[in-house]
Amino acid sequence: MNRTESSARPAGSGGGWLREHSEIGVSVLLFAIGLLVLGDAITMDVDISQRGPVGPRTVPIAVGLGLLVIAVLLAIDVVRGGRGEAETGEDIDLSEPSDWRTVLLLAGVFLGFAVLIGPVGFPISGMLLFWGAAFALGSRSHHRDPLIAAVLSLVTYYLFNNLLGVPLPGGPLMGVL
C-alpha cells in the first residue's frame, strides 16, 4: 500500500500505528519478563557455600539479559518496518475454528496432574498426565497408551530423582522405587 492509499483510508478502518505494529506488544512482554527474571535473580538469597564461578544466579541473569536484548532488537526491527509472516503451514487450515475440546482436555489433564502430584506422587500422576495428554491429542490405543505412559513416567521419575538429584514426590510408591 502506498502513501496515498494509506492517507485516503477512512478514520474508523483500524489503521492505527499500534495496530500495524502489533509485534511491539511481544517486545514489551519480553522486556517485562526479562526485567522480572533479572530482578528475581539479583535479589536471590545465595548461601556462601553456593558461591563460585557459576552460582545459582548465573543462568537466570543470562536468561534475563538475553530476554532484554531480544526485546530491544525485536522493537528496533518492528519500528524499521519488519513484520512477522502469517502462518503458511500446509497442514494448518486457518479458516477452521480452534479445537476447544482438545484445549480443555489438555488443561484438565494438567490441572489433574498438579492436584494429584502431592497425594499420589509423580510416578502415578505422571502416568495419568502422559496417558491423558495422548488421549486428548487423539490417540485411541487403549492397550498400548497406558503402558507407554507408565514407562515414560517411571523413566522420568528415575532420571530426575536418581541421576539429576531433583527429588520428586514418590507417593505410595516411595518405598518400592
What average pLDDT is seen over the chain? 83
- Position with higher pLDDT, 80 vs 65: 65
**6-43 pLDDT, tens digit each:** 444 444 445 576 667 778 889 999 999 999 999 998 88
**130-168 pLDDT, tens digit each:** 999 999 999 988 899 999 999 999 999 999 888 888 888
**72-93 pLDDT, tens digit each:** 999 999 888 887 776 666 677 7
pLDDT at 2 over 50: no
3-state secondary structure the chain: CCHHHHHCCCCCCCCCHHHHCCHHHHHHHHHHHHHHHHHHHHCCCCCHHHCCCCCCCHHHHHHHHHHHHHHHHHHHHHHCCCCCCCCCCCCCCCCCCCCHHHHHHHHHHHHHHHHHHHHHHHHHHHHHHHHHHHHHCCCCCCCHHHHHHHHHHHHHHHHHHHHCCCCCCCHHHCCCC
Give this prediction's pTM. 0.54
Q: How far is CA 177 from CA 85, 113, 121, 162, 168, in A?
A: 49, 20, 11, 10, 12
C-alpha cell at 87: 502462518
